Amino acid sequence: MVEVTVLGIAQDGGHPQPGCLRPCCANLTEHHYPVSLGIRSDEGTNILIEATRHLGDQFTLWGQTHVDHLLLTHAHFGHVDGLGLFGRETLSAQGIHLHVSEEMYHLVDQTPQWNLMVQQGVFEIQTFAVDAALYNKGELTIEPIRIPHRDELSDMHAFIIRGPNKSLLFLPDHDTWDETLTVHKCSTLRQWLSAMRIDIALIDGTFWSEDELGGRDQSKVPHPPVLQTLNMLGEREDGDPEIFFTHLNHTNPLYDQDSEQMKQVSQLGWGVVHQGQRFTL
């Protein structure tokens, strides 16, 4: 049995987002951590995707405090800012297999704090290639998928986690459906998910709509809005995978279970993933 635990559902800034005094972040009873997944293999190996600054809370949620393998999708802040917690000042971990792309490896190598941790034996770096599984033991296989996303620091990879019965796609960030589908030579989202044999898809739901970006220059924060994804998908049909939105910006109305927007998502047969939710693959 392979078990995946959702350790965070927020965009990089978290929810509440530091500095936000608006109703979306004021007086919250529940905090949402930046996206992360904990995977426990059938052999008892612990694999963590993303290193966030809420690692401690996420360990509590997961019920695990030991990481054998750490996978990073890309270099944006919320996905990597917890890397330092594995070092001497905090966990004093040794020999964690850090799986990164070739580009991400260069960034680790050129970042003095991270490079030092590699020299101290905290991380053993293993670079992955898109045409091969990065992990394949027992009943668990993990494959990286190349994804177009702002690449000023590193490239970006989604991960497919395959257990004995089901496969889960983790796609927290991308720029546009157009670019993602074109890279993978598919014309529709359904076709792409079916080509990858996905049963459960956790996909980029950063913004509900373009309005949410307010006066910000949209080209600087490109994520396909949930509304656009819903228009592409329409209603869930027989044989469709389960699709859940994740990586929600603090302004996203989908944090509110009772919002009109949330009703719209569920009426079409899709969902928003919960922090702490577990999937057995």
Residues that bind Zn ion (CB under 5 A): 12, 17, 20, 24-25, 76, 173, 250
> For Zn ion, which is the closer residue by CB, 152 or 237?
152
- Pairing mode of beta strands 135-137, 140-147: antiparallel
Q: How far is the CB of 79 from Zn ion (least distance, A)?
A: 6
> Looking at beta carbons only, is 20 or 262 nearer to Zn ion?
20
Q: What does the H/E/C string look like for the chain?
A: CCEEEEEECECCCCECCCCCCCCCCCCCCCCECECEEEEECCCCCEEEECCCCCHHHHHHHHCCCCCCEEECCCCCHHHHCCHHHHCCCCCCCCCEEEEECHHHHHHHHHCHHHHHHHHCCCEEEEECCCCCCCEEECCEEEEEEEECCCCCCCCEEEEEEECCCCEEEEECCCCCHHHHHHHCCCCCHHHHHHHCCCCEEEEECCCCCHHHHCCCCHHHCCCCCHHHHHHHHCCCCCCCCEEEEECECCCCHHHCCCCHHHHHHHHCCCEECCCCCEEEC
Q: What minimum distance in Å lies between the beta carbon of 43 and Zn ion?
A: 30
Of 162 and 170, CB closest to Zn ion: 170
**Least Å from the CB of residue 247 to Zn ion:** 6
**Residue number, 2 or 248, with CB nearest to Zn ion:** 248
We find the least distance from the C-beta atom of residue 197 to Zn ion, in angstroms, to be 25
Which residue's CB is nearer to Zn ion, number 12 or number 143? 12
What CA–CA distance (Å, rounded) separates 173 from 103? Answer: 17
Least CB distance from residue 140 to Zn ion, whole Å?
Answer: 25
CB closer to Zn ion, 43 vs 256: 256
Nearest-approach distance from CB 240 to Zn ion, in angstroms: 26
For residues 24 and 181, which CB has a smaller minimum distance to Zn ion in the complex?
A: 24
* Distance of closest approach, residue 253 Cβ to Zn ion, in angstroms: 12
